[in-house]
Amino acid sequence: METAAQIYHIQENHKRKRLDRFLISATEDVSRTYLQKLIREGAVTINDKVSKQPSQTLRVGDQVCISFPESRPLETGQPEEIPLDILYEDNHLIVLNKPAGMLVHPASGVNSGTLVNALLSHCSDLSGIGGVERPGIVHRLDKDTSGVLVVAKTDVVHRALSGQFEEHTITRQYVAVVCGIPSEVTGTIDAQIARSRRDRRRMTTVENNGRHAVTHYQVLEIYNKFSLVQLTLETGRLHQIRVHLQHIGHPVTGDAIYGGEQRALNDADTLPIKHALIHLRRQALHARTLQFEHPITHETLMFSAPKPADMHRLIDALRTLTRAHL
């Protein structure tokens, strides 16, 4: 694939600056996350030597070259007229309520029915930062997680929203039905996350050499052997909530990957609860609230989406057995 290269010469005012921080200031409309990805993939050289460390310190006289992959048409995803639950839309961005069961973007073996396919049909003016295979996608939700998600229509907005995510100024609140009852009503889970060496589909908590991850939680309701929990993300790692809840011994109900499916079925005390779990067919996790600053108008926007029917059915069944409001 052809590439477009940009060359920079480090001056006095940029000495001792991190490589990724220099590039984010030197390039236009490119997110720090994407730049770090290019660095790790070997697309950046310093003095003709590949540098794969975003934190590398620059010196006066260094020549930095970054090669951007040439844009290419989507190979796997095509526009599809799929209904979208749009909460807000203007010329700059779209906020929507993603249903459970929908992939955010095409992946191996799945070329249709994704959010990207639907968005390409809904509007053609989506940002392309991060590669055209994921147009407009600033952040993502797991396939079987429902809830609020924001999509950028322009590269400027994409970059600005990515910056808010990186600086942790965006508020993301989730609700989940978890197995068991946490010992504390409120708490913080601070545990590094890395990909599992045993199963590449899974993430796991590690003591060292993982990615910093912090999740705050508050127990909203207690049932017999289950709880309804509100979760606020401080960071946004892959599978973070699911991994962190498993880490403290309270996996998300219905989560087949992180131990919440079989445990929930074992702990189900009544037929209505078992039926609700069978019909759930996913982790009981919902992105309820998203709050951020509009990159163009600078208004503070907050959007919420109600829990979907499958989670309501489960909660109603649990409430009929036993409930204690906190």
CA 263 to chain CA centroid, Å, is: 26
* Cα angle 54, 43, 132; round to 5: 105
Annotation says 125 is catalytic: no
Active-site residue, from 20, 142, 144, 255: 142
For residue 162, which phi and psi values (nearest 5 degrees)? -60, -40
* Locus of tokens 């290419």: 72
Helical H runs in the chain? 19-26, 32-40, 115-122, 155-166, 240-247, 260-267, 271-280, 309-321
Cα–Cα distance list, 43 to 18, 37, 49 (Å): 16, 9, 10
Cβ contact 11:60 at 8 Å: yes
Tokens of 198: 């045993």
Active site residues: 142
